[in-house]
Every structure is written in C-alpha cells, then in structure tokens.
Amino acid sequence: QVQLQESGPGLVRPSETLSLTCTVSGGSIINYYWAWIRQPPGKGLEFVGHIYYNGITNYSPSLNSRVTISVDTSKNQFSLKLNSVTAADTALYYCARWNEGMDVWGKGTTVTVSS
C-alpha cells in the first residue's frame, strides 16, 4: 500500500525559501504524476504544482515564478521549493499521487511563515 510522508521545517522566515520533501513508500515513483497542494488555515484547497517521474513539471500560474518541484527517483522522493515566502504562504501542505485523480495523499505538514 502506497504511503506518502511530507517532511520539512514547520517555520520559515519571510522572504526565505520553503523546502519540503515527500517520501513515497510501498510503491514506486515511476510512471506516475506527483503533486503538491496547499490549504491555508480555514480555507480551501489550492494546487501548487505537479511533476511526472521523468521531471516534467506544471505549476500554478499564481506561483509559477516562485515554485520549483523536483524528483529523485533513486530515493523515491519529490520535493517542493517556494521562494520569497510571505505570510500568505502559511498553509497545510499536502503531497499526493495522481492517478486519474489524487488517489493517495500524505497527512500534510503545516508550514508557518513568520519572523
């Protein structure tokens, strides 16, 4: 059974870079798309971006200039970097597997942007 686990700092200072990693266990990262989704406190879901196992990416237009998603097939991991963060980037960040829909999700990790 495939499981996803997000990891990374829970607190990031304004203007710095948010970095998260999603580790895939119980299955291979090969042949799937993998996504990052975030949810600000008390609000709805927002698509951040996705990556195919071969490295092809697609980002939300509203975040495109600040976001980078990468994949490491040798470690069965994919990662998110979001630079120049502000308080508006405070959210619960989920990683998920795409398979005609996001069918496997991590539990999510809370990232707070504050000095």
Please provide residue 89's backbone torsions phi and psi, each rounded to the nearest 5 degrees: -90, 0
Residue appearing with tokens 């597997």: 97
- Comparison of 15 and 99: residue with beta carbon closer to another protein: 99
Residue list 68-107, contact with another protein (CB under 8 A): 94, 96, 98, 100-103, 105-107
56 scored as a contact of another protein (CB under 8 A): no
Exactly one of 5, 8, 47, 76 binds another protein (CB under 8 A); which one? 47
Binding site for another protein (CB under 8 A): 35, 37, 44-47, 50, 58-61, 94, 96, 98, 100-103, 105-108
